[in-house]
Amino acid sequence: MASKVKTWVWIVVGVVALGILGVISMAAAGLWFVKSHVDIRPTTTAAATVDFQSMRDRFSGQKPLIELDDRGNFVHSNVDRPNGTQRPDTLNIMAFDPKDERVVRIEIPFWLLRLKMRGTRFDVGGNNLDLAKLRLTVEDLERFGPTLIVDHRDSDGARVLVWTQ
């Protein structure tokens, strides 16, 4: 005589299966997001210099919002500029490490920045870029519109360029 499985067992099995599928879906979405917004490429120092200069030329005559010293510590902010006429869509980070000879480009949509309640921190090549440490908020970045935020070069030849567009 076959025994009948109780209804509550099927409900528990269904909830567990849905939970597992949900976790798998979230992991897949996260991997897709990172793959579509982070680009890491090998390069030479000369090629990276050209890439950085061409990007920097887009903001010719403009001082970065934040000036850093050789070690990446905050020195001065240049926030005495007029408000922008349009709101930026993305925060862009371009970093070069001459030891690894690779350029990392990250494009972060502003809707994601707005979701974070506290300071916004990004890990770029082992170095943290923390907007709160740089004394900037997402609202500040939106107010200035597309602009150059950081143009930093250290004594080892590593370089970081951060801008909004």
Tally of structural domains, the chain: 2
Phi, psi of 75 (to 5 degrees): -115, -50
Phi, psi of 91 (to 5 degrees): -105, 125
* pLDDT above 90 for 1: no
Better pLDDT: 27 or 127: 27
Per-residue pLDDT tens digits for 124-154:
445 556 666 666 778 888 888 899 998 999 8
- Structural domain range at position 154: 43-164
> What is the structure's pLDDT at 84?
81
Phi-psi region of 157 (alpha: psi -120 to 50; beta: other; left: phi over 0): left
* pLDDT above 80 for 40: yes
> What is the structure's pLDDT at 81?
79
Please report whether residue 120 resides in a domain.
yes
Q: Answer yes or no: do 53 and 73 share one domain.
A: yes
Q: Answer yes or no: do 21 and 65 share one domain.
A: no
Please report whether residue 73 resides in a domain.
yes
* pLDDT above 50 for 89: yes
Please report whether residue 2 resides in a domain.
no
Per-residue pLDDT tens digits for 69-87:
877 777 887 777 788 889 8
Please report whether residue 143 resides in a domain.
yes
| Mean of pLDDT values over 4-18 | 92
Give yes or no for a contact between 147 and 84, defined as CB atoms under 8 angstroms apart: yes
Locate tokens 């209804």: which residue? 7
Q: Answer yes or no: do 118 and 89 share one domain.
A: yes
Count of Cβ atoms closer than 10 Å to residue 55 Cβ: 16
Q: Answer yes or no: do 102 and 34 share one domain.
A: no
| Mean of pLDDT values over 146-165 | 90
CA distance 66 to 58: 17
> What is the structure's pLDDT at 120?
57
| Mean of pLDDT values over 118-122 | 54
Give yes or no for a contact between 155 and 79, defined as CB atoms under 8 angstroms apart: no
CA distance 94 to 105: 4
* pLDDT above 60 for 64: yes
Apex CA 88: angle with CA 90 and CA 160, to 5°?
Answer: 50
Q: Answer yes or no: do 116 and 102 share one domain.
A: yes
Q: Answer yes or no: do 32 and 78 share one domain.
A: no
Q: Answer yes or no: do 63 and 139 share one domain.
A: yes
Q: Answer yes or no: do 26 and 73 share one domain.
A: no
Q: Answer yes or no: do 32 and 50 share one domain.
A: no
- With pLDDT > 90 as the criterion, what percentage of the chain qualifies? 50
Q: pTM for the complete prediction?
A: 0.78
Locate tokens 């926030």: which residue? 79
Please report whether residue 93 resides in a domain.
yes
> What is the structure's pLDDT at 114?
80
